Protein backbone atom coordinates (compact mmCIF):
# COMPACT_ATOMS: atom_id res chain seq x y z
CA UNK A 1 0.00 0.00 0.00
CA UNK A 2 1.21 3.49 -0.90
CA UNK A 3 0.31 6.62 1.07
CA UNK A 4 0.13 9.70 -1.17
CA UNK A 5 0.36 13.10 0.51
CA UNK A 6 -1.11 15.58 -1.93
CA UNK A 7 -3.25 18.60 -2.65
CA UNK A 8 -5.35 19.62 -5.69
CA UNK A 9 -2.42 21.17 -7.58
CA UNK A 10 -0.41 20.26 -10.70
CA UNK A 11 2.45 18.57 -8.82
CA UNK A 12 0.09 16.59 -6.61
CA UNK A 13 -2.11 15.55 -9.53
CA UNK A 14 0.84 14.11 -11.47
CA UNK A 15 1.18 11.39 -8.86
CA UNK A 16 -2.51 10.57 -8.31
CA UNK A 17 -2.86 10.32 -12.12
CA UNK A 18 0.17 8.01 -12.31
CA UNK A 19 -1.18 5.79 -9.51
CA UNK A 20 -4.56 5.63 -11.26
CA UNK A 21 -2.87 4.77 -14.57
CA UNK A 22 -1.04 1.94 -12.80
CA UNK A 23 -4.27 0.74 -11.10
CA UNK A 24 -2.35 0.60 -7.85
CA UNK A 25 -4.15 0.62 -4.53
CA UNK A 26 -3.20 3.78 -2.64
CA UNK A 27 -4.29 5.96 0.21
CA UNK A 28 -4.62 9.69 -0.68
CA UNK A 29 -3.96 12.01 2.27
CA UNK A 30 -4.93 15.67 1.90
CA UNK A 31 -2.33 18.25 2.95
CA UNK A 32 -4.21 21.53 3.09
CA UNK A 33 -1.70 24.12 1.84
CA UNK A 34 -3.99 27.04 2.65
CA UNK A 35 -4.00 25.90 6.28
CA UNK A 36 -0.18 25.54 6.11
CA UNK A 37 -0.34 21.82 6.95
CA UNK A 38 2.85 21.33 4.89
CA UNK A 39 4.77 22.97 7.73
CA UNK A 40 3.71 20.62 10.56
CA UNK A 41 6.48 18.77 12.37
CA UNK A 42 4.95 15.46 11.30
CA UNK A 43 4.95 16.33 7.58
CA UNK A 44 8.45 17.88 7.77
CA UNK A 45 9.78 14.43 8.66
CA UNK A 46 8.89 13.09 5.19
CA UNK A 47 9.11 16.31 3.19
CA UNK A 48 12.34 18.25 3.82
CA UNK A 49 11.16 21.04 1.49
CA UNK A 50 7.68 21.19 3.11
CA UNK A 51 6.03 20.61 -0.24
CA UNK A 52 3.67 18.04 -1.68
CA UNK A 53 3.68 15.47 -3.23
CA UNK A 54 5.31 12.78 -1.10
CA UNK A 55 4.73 9.03 -1.18
CA UNK A 56 5.35 6.44 1.48
CA UNK A 57 5.58 2.99 -0.08
CA UNK A 58 4.95 0.69 2.85
CA UNK A 59 5.84 -2.42 0.81
CA UNK A 60 9.46 -1.24 0.53
CA UNK A 61 9.59 1.07 3.53
CA UNK A 62 10.46 3.85 1.07
CA UNK A 63 9.68 7.57 1.38
CA UNK A 64 10.05 9.75 -1.72
CA UNK A 65 9.54 13.49 -2.23
CA UNK A 66 9.84 15.51 -5.50
CA UNK A 67 7.27 14.61 -8.15
CA UNK A 68 9.91 13.72 -10.78
CA UNK A 69 11.62 11.25 -8.46
CA UNK A 70 8.23 9.77 -7.51
CA UNK A 71 7.24 9.30 -11.17
CA UNK A 72 10.57 7.60 -11.90
CA UNK A 73 10.24 5.37 -8.83
CA UNK A 74 6.72 4.27 -9.78
CA UNK A 75 7.62 3.80 -13.45
CA UNK A 76 10.56 1.58 -12.47
CA UNK A 77 8.66 -0.32 -9.80
CA UNK A 78 5.73 -1.20 -12.05
CA UNK A 79 7.69 -1.18 -15.33
CA UNK A 80 5.25 1.12 -17.11
CA UNK A 81 5.21 4.50 -18.86
CA UNK A 82 9.03 4.59 -19.23
CA UNK A 83 9.96 2.07 -21.88
CA UNK A 84 13.62 1.22 -22.49
CA UNK A 85 13.55 2.11 -26.18
CA UNK A 86 12.49 5.70 -25.56
CA UNK A 87 14.08 6.03 -22.12
CA UNK A 88 16.24 9.12 -22.72
CA UNK A 89 13.64 10.86 -24.83
CA UNK A 90 11.11 10.49 -22.02
CA UNK A 91 13.66 11.54 -19.37
CA UNK A 92 14.50 14.71 -21.32
CA UNK A 93 10.86 15.82 -21.40
CA UNK A 94 10.34 14.92 -17.74
CA UNK A 95 13.37 17.02 -16.78
CA UNK A 96 12.18 19.83 -19.04
CA UNK A 97 8.89 19.77 -17.13
CA UNK A 98 10.61 19.77 -13.73
CA UNK A 99 13.17 22.46 -14.57
CA UNK A 100 11.21 24.83 -16.80
CA UNK A 101 7.50 24.12 -17.30
CA UNK A 102 6.64 23.77 -13.59
CA UNK A 103 8.81 26.56 -12.14
CA UNK A 104 7.95 29.13 -14.83
CA UNK A 105 4.23 28.38 -15.03
CA UNK A 106 4.20 28.36 -11.22
CA UNK A 107 5.48 31.95 -11.36
CA UNK A 108 2.68 32.77 -13.81
CA UNK A 109 0.20 31.55 -11.18
CA UNK A 110 1.78 33.91 -8.65
CA UNK A 111 1.95 37.05 -10.82
CA UNK A 112 -0.98 36.64 -13.21
CA UNK A 113 -3.54 34.81 -11.06
CA UNK A 114 -2.95 35.36 -7.34
CA UNK A 115 -1.27 38.80 -7.35
CA UNK A 116 -2.19 40.70 -10.51
CA UNK A 117 -1.29 44.40 -10.56
CA UNK A 118 1.65 44.07 -8.17
CA UNK A 119 4.43 44.04 -10.73
CA UNK A 120 3.94 44.87 -14.41
CA UNK A 121 7.49 43.71 -15.11
CA UNK A 122 6.94 40.28 -13.52
CA UNK A 123 3.59 39.89 -15.31
CA UNK A 124 5.09 40.63 -18.73
CA UNK A 125 8.09 38.43 -18.06
CA UNK A 126 6.01 35.42 -16.94
CA UNK A 127 3.56 35.88 -19.84
CA UNK A 128 6.58 35.72 -22.18
CA UNK A 129 7.88 32.55 -20.49
CA UNK A 130 4.44 30.94 -20.67
CA UNK A 131 4.15 31.64 -24.41
CA UNK A 132 7.68 30.30 -24.96
CA UNK A 133 6.83 27.08 -23.11
CA UNK A 134 3.55 26.51 -24.99
CA UNK A 135 5.37 27.15 -28.29
CA UNK A 136 8.03 24.53 -27.49
CA UNK A 137 5.36 21.99 -26.47
CA UNK A 138 3.28 22.74 -29.57
CA UNK A 139 6.25 22.19 -31.88
CA UNK A 140 7.06 18.85 -30.27
CA UNK A 141 3.45 17.69 -30.50
CA UNK A 142 3.21 18.75 -34.16
CA UNK A 143 5.48 15.79 -34.94
CA UNK A 144 3.95 13.09 -32.77
CA UNK A 145 0.94 12.06 -30.75
CA UNK A 146 2.67 12.17 -27.34
CA UNK A 147 5.94 13.66 -26.02
CA UNK A 148 7.55 10.34 -26.80
CA UNK A 149 6.37 7.53 -29.09
CA UNK A 150 3.93 6.25 -26.50
CA UNK A 151 2.00 7.80 -23.62
CA UNK A 152 4.58 8.08 -20.80
CA UNK A 153 5.56 9.84 -17.58
CA UNK A 154 6.51 12.81 -19.79
CA UNK A 155 2.82 13.33 -20.68
CA UNK A 156 1.74 12.58 -17.10
CA UNK A 157 4.13 15.23 -15.74
CA UNK A 158 3.17 17.95 -18.25
CA UNK A 159 -0.60 17.49 -18.57
CA UNK A 160 -1.61 18.80 -15.08
CA UNK A 161 0.29 22.04 -15.77
CA UNK A 162 -1.50 22.60 -19.06
CA UNK A 163 -4.79 22.06 -17.21
CA UNK A 164 -4.01 25.49 -15.70
CA UNK A 165 -3.86 27.23 -19.10
CA UNK A 166 -6.43 29.82 -17.96
CA UNK A 167 -4.15 30.94 -15.14
CA UNK A 168 -1.33 31.34 -17.67
CA UNK A 169 -3.58 33.59 -19.78
CA UNK A 170 -3.00 31.24 -22.69
CA UNK A 171 -5.54 30.72 -25.47
CA UNK A 172 -5.09 27.03 -26.28
CA UNK A 173 -6.57 27.59 -29.75
CA UNK A 174 -3.29 29.34 -30.60
CA UNK A 175 -1.46 26.08 -29.86
CA UNK A 176 -3.49 23.51 -31.84
CA UNK A 177 -1.16 20.57 -31.20
CA UNK A 178 -1.14 21.15 -27.45
CA UNK A 179 -4.92 21.53 -27.60
CA UNK A 180 -5.37 18.22 -29.46
CA UNK A 181 -3.04 16.39 -27.01
CA UNK A 182 -4.62 18.03 -23.96
CA UNK A 183 -8.19 17.14 -24.95
CA UNK A 184 -7.26 13.62 -26.00
CA UNK A 185 -5.54 12.89 -22.68
CA UNK A 186 -8.36 14.57 -20.72
CA UNK A 187 -10.60 11.64 -21.73
CA UNK A 188 -8.44 9.00 -20.06
CA UNK A 189 -10.27 7.48 -17.06
CA UNK A 190 -7.08 7.73 -14.93
CA UNK A 191 -6.83 11.45 -15.65
CA UNK A 192 -10.47 12.05 -14.76
CA UNK A 193 -10.17 10.04 -11.54
CA UNK A 194 -6.65 11.22 -10.63
CA UNK A 195 -7.57 14.88 -11.07
CA UNK A 196 -9.78 14.82 -7.97
CA UNK A 197 -8.53 12.58 -5.19
CA UNK A 198 -8.08 15.10 -2.36
CA UNK A 199 -9.64 18.42 -1.36
CA UNK A 200 -12.49 20.21 -3.12
CA UNK A 201 -13.84 18.91 -6.44
CA UNK A 202 -12.69 20.76 -9.59
CA UNK A 203 -13.92 20.26 -13.15
CA UNK A 204 -11.20 19.64 -15.70
CA UNK A 205 -10.99 22.93 -17.66
CA UNK A 206 -11.85 22.68 -21.36
CA UNK A 207 -11.31 25.57 -23.79
Ligand X SMILES: N[C@@H](CCC(=O)N[C@@H](CS)C(=O)NCC(=O)O)C(=O)O
DSSP annotation of 158 reads H
Residue nearer to ligand X on the CB measure, 112 or 179: 112
Residue nearer to ligand X on the CB measure, 12 or 28: 12
* Distance between CA atoms of residues 165 and 179, nearest Å: 10
Residue nearer to ligand X on the CB measure, 35 or 203: 35
Task: Please tell me whether residue 55 adopts helix, strand or coil conformation.
Answer: strand
Q: Is-contact 74 22, C-beta < 8 A?
A: yes
**Sequence-separated (6 or more) residues with CB below 8 Å from residue 47:** 5, 38, 54, 65
Residue nearer to ligand X on the CB measure, 15 or 185: 15
Q: Is-contact 123 112, C-beta < 8 A?
A: yes
* Distance between CA atoms of residues 174 and 163, nearest Å: 15
Residue nearer to ligand X on the CB measure, 110 or 177: 110
Least gap, CB of 71 to ligand X (angstroms): 9
Least gap, CB of 67 to ligand X (angstroms): 4
Q: How far is CA 45 from CA 50, 54, 56, 192, in A?
A: 9, 11, 12, 31
Least gap, CB of 31 to ligand X (angstroms): 7
Half-sphere exposure of 10 (CA within 13 A, CB side): 23
Least gap, CB of 103 to ligand X (angstroms): 8
* Distance between CA atoms of residues 79 and 184, nearest Å: 24
Residue nearer to ligand X on the CB measure, 22 or 198: 198
Q: Which residues bind ligand X (CB under 6 A)?
A: 9-12, 33, 38, 50-53, 66-68, 98, 102
Amino acid sequence: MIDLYSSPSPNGRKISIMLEELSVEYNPIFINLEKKEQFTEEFSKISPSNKIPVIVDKDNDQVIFESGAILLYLAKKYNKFLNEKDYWEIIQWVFFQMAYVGPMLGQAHQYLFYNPGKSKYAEEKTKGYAKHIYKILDKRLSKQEFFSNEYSIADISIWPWIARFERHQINLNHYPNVLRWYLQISERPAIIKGYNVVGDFFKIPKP
